[in-house]
């Protein structure tokens, strides 16, 4: 499990981008989705998640806006930018290459 979570943590940014491709979302929602997609086995630490948000934002891959909830505190939403889409496709390609390579090496 430690290898799994290390690798997953290394791809935090790409995982977030992948989620935002489907729809705009906010921190907790993304983490919930990750938990669901991994059958309740993996969840990002909040600190990891939010520092990844900051990095993506600074790189111009995502943008953020405050939601207009009428009840309770406002949520901060994230949306992927065109640059983010490009970076994601690139990253996905690189990951596929890396995965094939590792599969070859760890037969």
Is 105 near another protein (CB under 8 A)? no
In eight-state DSSP terms, residue 73 is S
Dump the DSSP string for 3-43. Answer: HHHHHHHHTHHHHHHHHHHHS-EEHHHHHHHHHHHTTTS--
Which one of residues 76, 89, 96, 100 is an interface residue with another protein (CB under 8 A)? 76
For the record, the structure tokens of 53 come out as: 């948000």
Footprint on residues 83-102 left by another protein (CB under 8 A): 86-87, 90-91, 98
* 34, 61, 62, 80: residue in contact with another protein (rule CB under 8 A): 61
Q: Which is nearer to another protein, 22 or 105 (CB)?
A: 105
Listed residue (42, 46, 56, 50) closest to 88, CA to CA: 56
> Sheet containing 76-80: which strands, arranged edge to edge?
25-26, 76-80, 62-66
Quick check: 41 binds another protein (CB under 8 A)?
no
Nearer to another protein by Cβ, of 7 and 23: the residue is 7
Q: Could you list the residues that contact another protein (CB under 8 A)?
A: 6-7, 9-10, 13-14, 26-28, 31-32, 43, 45-48, 50-51, 54-56, 58-59, 61, 73-76, 86-87, 90-91, 98
């Amino acid at each position: 499990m430690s290898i799994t979570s290390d690798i997953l943590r290394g791809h935090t940014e790409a995982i977030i981008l992948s989620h935002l491709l489907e729809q705009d979302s906010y921190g907790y929602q993304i983490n919930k989705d990750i938990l669901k997609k991994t059958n309740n086995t993996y969840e990002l630490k909040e600190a990891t998640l939010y520092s990844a948000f900051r990095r993506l934002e600074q790189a111009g891959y995502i943008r953020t806006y405050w939601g207009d909830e009428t009840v309770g505190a406002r949520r901060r939403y994230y949306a992927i930018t065109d640059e983010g889409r490009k970076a994601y496709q690139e990253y996905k390609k690189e990951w596929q290459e890396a995965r094939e390579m590792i599969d070859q090496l760890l037969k």
